[in-house]
Amino acid sequence: MDFEQADAINQAIRLLSLRHRARASALLAPLGLHPGQEALLLELARTGPMIKAQLSEALGCEPPSVTLMTRKLEASGHIRFRAVPSDKRASVVELTDSGKALATQVKQLWCALAEETIAGLAPDTVASLPDTLNTMTANVDSRRRAK
């Protein structure tokens, strides 16, 4: 691949990432959420209660980031912690009723953001987009290379 093509690809990915995050941030702000917190809420809504280490793995972020997000979401009443009887060091994170309602709002917001993002793309392109993006993510996943 020559530099011009590589630059065009890398710039497009960089700009999409920046602008998508900014748009997501603008949409999440009225709900009292910051980028990343919605992913945690959606993961708990999808899978049910889990310990922070599992959340960290599922979200692809570092444990301190999950700790910060869970503290903020607990303070706002959207999640709660429950002790794990078999492991005194671990606690299970679960959605409260407020968190479940918020996750429903986030799902609606996420649908709207996706529709904005894919506007003008052909249906077959849209259908293949998740696989394409997941492959690209795996190609640059530093956790995969570190193992």
**Span 93-125, pLDDT tens digits:** 999 999 999 999 999 999 999 999 999 999 999
Residue showing tokens 């980028």: 35
Residue 50's beta-bridge partner residues?
Answer: 93
Inter-CA distances, 36 with 28, 43, 72, 122, Å: 10, 11, 12, 29
Tell me the pLDDT band of 49, cut-offs 50, 70 and 90.
Answer: very high
Number of residues written out for the chain: 147
Asked whether 103 and 95 are in contact (CB, 8 A), the reply is yes
Q: What is the mean pLDDT of residues 28-51?
A: 95
Q: What is the mean pLDDT of residues 135-147?
A: 75
Domain 36-119 -> CATH class: mainly alpha
Domain ranges of the chain: 36-119
Tell me the pLDDT band of 144, cut-offs 50, 70 and 90.
Answer: low
Residue 143 has pLDDT above 90, yes or no: no
Structure tokens, 54: 């599992």
